[in-house]
Amino acid sequence: MHDNLLASLPCAIGELENLQKLNVSHNKLKTLPEELLKLRNLKGLFLQYNELTCVPEGFGQLHKLEDLDLSNNRLTAVPASFSSLSNLVRLNLAGNQMKDLPAEITRMKRLKHLDCTSNYLETLPSELAGMESLELLCLRRNRLHALPSSLACASLKELHIGENQIETLAAEHLKHLKSIHVLDLKDNKLKSIPDEITLLQSLERLDLANNDISSLPHTLGNLPHLQFVALEGNPLRTIRREILNKGTQEVLKYLRSKIKDDPVNHSDPPMETAMTLPSQAIVNMHSMRSLKLLDYSEKQTALIPDEVFDAVGSNVITTVNFSKNQLNEIPKRLVDLKEAVCDVNLSFNKLPSLSAELCMLQKLTHLDLRNNLLSSLPEEMEALVKLQMINLSFNRFKTFPSILYRLQSLETILLSNNQVGSLDPLQLKQMGKLATLDLQNNDLLHIPPELGNCVSLRTLLLEGNPFRIPRAAILAKGTDAVLEYLRDRIPT
């Protein structure tokens, strides 16, 4: 019964003793009848976007409840009886007026997702550390001045605490977050990041946008699983803008290169001696040995010389950078590096298509193909079962490449500034790891409401397309708001 004008529910609703799901979101409810508490088989209760100022004290009687959404009401508190909701898995309290959470809420031993975005929280109960099942915690847009020390939840994988007033981040804040995969700290007042960031060995995504950070610890580059770092809006002085513009992987490589000073004096031209072959003189051997990087970028060449590959010798190469050249085909000898290479940058070339050589790099996790002439991808890419990030921005795609739907390991797809006119939300939903989808500046005339079911998405960028719905005001509210808007418009 969502999206109506209901101001109340009849007491007789308590007679629906077998009811398992009740959706009365987007109405005008100010109170809930006590009889609602008789629905003992209820598993999903959706009350978001109403005018509730309180909920019945006996709410804990709904023992089978697994999913409860009370977001965007006028609640100032939740009853202590919530602690009896022992089967609750997801609790959404976003968009209310709560100044604190009752300690009893931490007794929900099965709770995995807790969303308290857009409230007035200044502290969190210390008992939160005992929530052993909690995996996702959203605290965006509150009044927190520090990362709560109570966040010692052993299973916490995602912490969204952006748009608060956090000024410091210290080792004691990080030491309990060793399982964290996503840490969102954007729009705070952080001035620095401690070296102890390396405690977060499972970290995959780090959002530091719009803080006051002037430098980053070099050891950040050593986090083994880090794939995405947002740094926009910081007064960074130690990293050149051209490096920042190249994206996360280039920033991390730069930080790694600064961990210890380069012992080689690059001011002198390399001398050819009995220990230095001519082929080794045309590539940076130090980068190859210390960073496992084969770099032959910005040469404006249409062909990668065999000498570049010969120089590799017995060195293990994990990263290849052939960007900013004039390549019109994939270098055939790229396959020589298939045993270890996981990151390939072929951006800013003139590639009209991809050949089999690239598809043989089965350990590939990151592939940068932006600013080429691509209009399709080969079916052989299905062999890239470990691919996590692909950048196809500024190419010539008119349709969403269908092969991408079958790459279940993909977490980031960047497809902005193409001519894509449609996408299949049902296939996107099957991509359970997809967290970032950038479709800005394409030719999308229609956004299918079913896209709202892609709940794994954390970042969805749609600006610059000719569709009229959702409106720009909805897009400006961010990914969660867009997905909820779309979900509410799925035909039933």
Digits of tens for pLDDT over the chain (492 positions)?
998 999 999 999 999 999 999 999 999 999 999 999 999 999 999 999 999 999 988 888 999 999 999 999 999 998 888 888 989 999 999 999 999 888 888 888 899 999 999 999 998 888 887 788 899 999 999 999 888 766 767 788 999 999 999 998 887 778 778 889 999 999 999 999 998 898 898 999 999 989 999 999 998 998 988 989 999 888 888 888 888 888 888 899 999 988 764 343 333 333 333 333 444 447 788 778 878 889 898 888 999 999 999 988 888 999 999 999 999 999 999 999 999 999 999 999 999 999 888 999 999 999 999 999 999 999 999 999 999 999 999 999 999 999 999 999 999 999 999 999 999 999 999 998 999 999 999 999 999 999 999 988 888 999 889 988 888 888 888 888 899 999 998 887
Rounded to whole angstroms, the Cα distance separating 79 from 81 reads 5
Rounded to whole angstroms, the Cα distance separating 71 from 140 reads 13
Q: How far is C-alpha 32 from the chain's CA centre?
A: 37
What integer pLDDT is reported at residue 491 of this predicted model?
A: 84
Number of H helices, E strands in the chain: 9, 18
What integer pLDDT is reported at residue 280 of this predicted model?
A: 46
Q: Which residues pair with 182 in a beta bridge?
A: 158, 205
Phi-psi region of 257 (alpha: psi -120 to 50; beta: other; left: phi over 0): alpha
The domain 278-487 belongs to what CATH superfamily? Ribonuclease Inhibitor (3.80.10.10)
Q: How far, in Å, are 153, 161, 166, 189, 322 from residue 186 at the CA level?
A: 21, 8, 10, 9, 32
What integer pLDDT is reported at residue 261 of this predicted model?
A: 45
What integer pLDDT is reported at residue 287 of this predicted model?
A: 77
- Going by their DSSP bridges, the two strands 343-345 and 366-368 should be labelled as parallel
The runs of H, that is alpha helices, within 40-151 are none
Q: Which structure tokens are listed for 387?
A: 């691919």
Q: How far is C-alpha 363 from the chain's CA centre?
A: 22
Q: Do 253 and 221 contact (CB within 8 A), yes or no?
A: yes
Q: What is the DSSP letter of 381?
A: G
Q: Looking at domain 11-257, which of 3.40.50.620, 1.10.10.10, 3.40.710.10, 3.80.10.10 is its CATH number? A: 3.80.10.10
H/E stretch holding 345: strand 343-345
Q: Which structure tokens are listed for 52?
A: 């509730």
- Claim: this prediction has a pTM higher than 0.85: no
What integer pLDDT is reported at residue 405 of this predicted model?
A: 94
Q: Do 14 and 33 contact (CB within 8 A), yes or no?
A: yes
Q: Do 354 and 377 contact (CB within 8 A), yes or no?
A: yes
CA geometry: angle at 92 spanning 86 and 98, to 5°? Answer: 105
Half-sphere exposure of 235 (CA within 13 A, CB side): 6
Rounded to whole angstroms, the Cα distance separating 185 from 202 reads 17
Q: Which residues pair with 168 in a beta bridge?
A: 146
- Going by their DSSP bridges, the two strands 412-414 and 389-391 should be labelled as parallel
What integer pLDDT is reported at residue 260 of this predicted model?
A: 60
Rounded to whole angstroms, the Cα distance separating 249 from 460 reads 21
Q: How far, in Å, are 317, 321, 348 from residue 298 at the CA level?
A: 19, 9, 9
Domains 11-257 and 278-487 share a fold: yes
Per-domain residue ranges of the chain:
11-257, 278-487
User: What is the Rg, in whole angstroms, of the alpha carbon atoms belonging to the chain?
Assistant: 26
Q: How far, in Å, are 119, 224, 253, 259 from residue 219 at the CA level?
A: 35, 11, 11, 7
pLDDT in tens, 349-375: 999 999 888 999 999 999 999 999 999
Q: Which structure tokens are listed for 252?
A: 């991390």
